[in-house]
Amino acid sequence: MATIVRDIETERTQARRRRRRGRIGLYTAAITAAVMGAFPFIWASLTAFKQNKDLYVKSNNPFLFNLAPTLDHFKFLFNDTNFLTFVRNTMVVGLAVVAITLLISLPAAYSLARLARKWGERLGIGIFLVYLIPPTLLFIPMQRVIVFLDLQESLWSLILVYPTITIPISVWLLMGFFKGIPRDIEEQAQVDGYSRIGAVMRTVMPLMFPGVVAVIVFAFTLSSHEFIYALAFNKASAFKTIAVGVPTELVRGDVFFWQSLMGAAIVVAVPIAVVFNLFLDRFVTGFTMGAVKG
């Protein structure tokens, strides 16, 4: 009996050790991934506040402030460049593209998922394939279109072109959501006296919120970081977005304003990271459900 008890205790001890080693391995991997993910932001933060003498001396420790931190590079960014103009242009273009994308994608996705029957999925695949065309193959013909419409050197050129990229994938994602919502919900609402539009707005749209969030984040992110069209259509500083304005105006010949470049990255990254994390669950749900159901 004593031998059996000792064997049981030994097995329990070994099981606790295995669990402890598993937890240590899990936490080590999580911490390592977090440090690797945060390293670019930490490096940018250190660089943005460093003085020139501190940054360009090889003997200095790159992970410490060898000299006192300074805000001069942020002052240069906000006072001596058009960075605030770039931010304003990015917000205007991003919000306009989001509005246009939702205005077209929602009814298109509903029509393909509910009304087109067997042709809906085929048309949805065809629309999605448009998204796979590389922008590098289209910016020259798009440039001709923009010149024909006399929209060059204008934010309207970006507002017109970006939805051609965001709408196809948005329709595909939203189709998956509409297919995942039972028809009985809106049919019951129609039985209660609502029109089709009223039934959709009152019963279906609240369930579509994760998909709508995914489309908003996708459309705004794409319009914010897109580079080729923004560079080809607008050369004037007054119409540049952050993606083009920061690298073209903070790199002058062979002179790189490293600290100001890193400062611009921090100023842009922090609010985006905060908003993204607030809606992270719904954003992931939107992409996964839309992809699976679609």
Tens of pLDDT, residue by residue over 151-174, are: 888 999 999 999 988 888 888 888
Distance CA 82, CA 79 (A): 8
**Alpha-carbon gap, residue 250 to 78, rounded angstroms:** 12
What is the value of pTM for the model shown?
0.79
Token pair belonging to 205 = 């749209």
CB atoms under 10 Å from CB of 77, counted, come to 23
Residue whose tokens read 């579509």: 208
Q: What does the pLDDT look like over 47-102, one tens digit per residue? A: 889 888 888 888 888 888 888 888 988 999 898 889 999 999 999 999 999 999 99
The larger pLDDT score, comparing residue 232 to residue 195, is at 232
What value does the CA radius of gyration of the chain take, rounded to a whole number of Å?
26
Question: Which of 16-20, 23-27, 31-35, 239-243 is least confident?
Answer: 16-20
